[in-house]
Amino acid sequence: MNKQKSADLSRRHVRIRPQNAAALIARNLIIRGLRQHDFHHALRGRPAFVGFVVHRAEDIEVFANESLLLLRETTEKKTIYDVMAWENARKVPNTNDIVQTLSDKGIVFGFASDRTDMPAAFRSLADGIVTLDAVDERAVSAAFQTLFHSTPLTSVLCAAATLPIDVLNICLQRGITLRQATGRIQRYLSASKESPITVASNHPRLENMAGLGEVADWGKSLARDIRDYRERRIPWSDVDRGVLVSGPSGTGKTMFARALANTCGVPVHVHSLARWQARGHLGDLLKAMRAAFNEAVKSAPNILFIDEIDAVGDRRDLSGPHEKYSREVVNALLECLDGAEAREGVVVVAATNYPEKVDPALLRPGRLDRHLRIPLPDCQSRLSILRYHLGHDLPDVDLADIAIHLGGATGAIIEQVVRDARRRARHAHRPMTTADLEDGLPSRIRLSEAALRRMCVHEAGHALVGSLLSSESGSTLIDIRVMQEITQQNTGGQTTFRRTPGFDRSRASYLAEITTLLAGLAAEDVVLGGHADGAGGEENSDIHLATILAARMDASLGLGGSLVYLTSDNPAEILAQVRRDSHLRRQVHARLKACAHRARTIIGRNTRALELLEACLARRGHLSATDVSALLENNPDNFSSNCDCESADQVT
């Protein structure tokens, strides 16, 4: 930021909603400071020269930008205003320039982190200098209420108020849930307390862990490669340099990194953006990031684990006052990942719950070469996880029913069930029993037969249409799961697809993907005469995702009837644009309606296949992609995915 900045926005008396948590908090504190010092008349367009002292120099730009928007919103068109900002007093602005600015403008706000950084001419002519309150519970609570329409516990608000405003901006990101926001705050606060380097010998090996799927296979292969590298049979260039591991929260991504290091016989360095941010400002963060890689190189070979790498951000979605900050973080991480020679002996394992939010540049060859997924454990894996955590307890007891009851549970939940059972037995001064385990099982709701059938029809619809449109959408089926007994952590049904890397994402592929998303709802309409509420109601539901895809085509990607760019590819901004723009809303509605019609037509032409999938799914609860392919190939009907979806074009 220059030592002095000014801006002249077009004078329109219009309400402008702050775009992020940092802006919301800054606006709250500015208005509060003006009112406390009886300068609120400045927000009604009356002349005022006010200086503001901000607690952190790094926040000056946020406050200055938000004050411009605030003045633009609250003053009349004829009011002339300006905003200045000074980072330090090394370069003192010309006194004549200050006087000229004050004489030309009716309202002038000036920002600095110390009143002595403000030019003497400004201090002497200002109506007053306001020291803004530090971020506190009230400001954070207001930001929570605006972004999430709810506020967390007081303890969370107190903890959040201790964080820098740029960190809060990441924690309280638009588009995430209240639970995710509070989780980010708690993880950030605890990150600096954790030891960054862990000796792997105290952790399990990959062969002791169940339910990891393809991740375990890759890890065992890596262990062989590292052994060969140590024994000089292969060069480091033949070893995978990095991997992105994704999966639902609690599936064991961090535990996998520790087990991987133990299996490879190397130490693991555990890091995260939150830990690096805990060191201080942007410069300190970047130093901590580079130091993490440098320390890993010194003790190579080893594993460098980066948790929640999605927090680093995706440069395609960056906007607002912290865009430059976030972009520098992404660029610095790319520099650290680049160059196999520069980090020889260091394998980077990055974990995320949201792989779609990771900057694509991080996934290019030479960086995070592969993307592997950890699924929710199946019944046999849940049984193995139970046995691992039980150790020597209950060695001869059949735990199959308990493993079945834990359907949909992650490894973390299973570990907690065992830990709680062990605590009950310990407090009762007796050995553990199966009753101790059963008492700690998550409460479950048993679906009625009608609800289970609807779920099977719904998921079979996704699988059928998704398989038939695979060549168009670029997504291949992984598996289908349904459960009659559900917990608060799962919805009871899930159909998983994987997008083919490098697939040509044309207009047709987007329409096919939307059609697949709406196929569950369409199957209910065809088979049951109408659909229930399972396709919508929350983030990442079928309707939510389909709406975002349909709107992206027109608002951001140029795949509709217009090449006009309306908003970024960020899902929250896409939905905000849909809410504001009635024309776009009609476009989206027509496209969703056309794709739902196509899905119903495909299902209507392949009802026998749908019935086979539904029946098999109801009987077994889980079908793999191979199972689905076998059922479709053996079906005597002639399958057809042909159904003109051009009605979606009529509105574009």
Residues identified as active-site: 459
- Running DSSP on this structure, what letter comes out for residue 447? P
Beta-strand runs (E) in 94-231: 107-112, 128-131, 197-198
Q: How far is CA 75 from the centre of its chain?
A: 37
For residues 114 and 460, give the distance between their C-alpha atoms in angstroms, rounded to a whole number: 64
Those residues with Cβ within 8 angstroms of residue 506's Cβ, 6 or more apart along the chain or in another chain: 559
Other Cβ atoms closer than 10 A to 496: 18
Distance CA 401, CA 403 (A): 5
Helix (H, G, I), strand (E, B) or coil at 477: strand
- Using the CB atoms, write b or e for 501-527: b if 16+ within 10 Å: eeeeeeeebbbbbbbbbbbbbbbbbbb
Tell me, what amino acid is at 69?
Answer: L
Distances (CA, A) of 236 to 159, 217, 296, 323, 348: 44, 20, 15, 36, 14
Q: Is 372 helix (H, G, I), strand (E, B) or coil?
A: strand
**In this structure, are residues 239 and 260 in contact, taking their beta carbons and an 8 Å threshold?**
no
**CA-based nearest residue to 321, from 82, 26, 80:** 26
What would the DSSP string read from start to end of 507-567? HHHHHHHHHHHTHHHHHHHHHHSS--STT-SSTTSHHHHHHHHHHHHHHTSS-SS-----S
Q: Which residues pair with 496 in a beta bridge?
A: 479
Question: What span, in angstroms and rounded, lies between the C-alpha atoms of 343 and 351?
Answer: 19
Give Cα 404 distance to the centre of its chain: 30
Please tell me the distance from the alpha carbon of residue 145 to that of residue 248, in angstroms, as a whole number.
Answer: 27
Task: Classify strands 302-307 and 268-272 as parallel, antiparallel or unpaired.
Answer: parallel
Q: How far apart are CA 248 and CA 482, in angstroms?
A: 17
Rounded Cα–Cα distance for residues 184 and 205 (Å) = 29
Q: Which residue bears the tokens 């009886």? A: 38
Strand partners, 485: 446
User: 295 exposed, middle or buried (CB, 10 Å; 0-12, 13-18, 19+)?
Assistant: middle
Residue 61: in which H helix or E strand, if any?
helix 60-74
Helix/strand/coil for 455: helix
76 token code pair: 């009349």
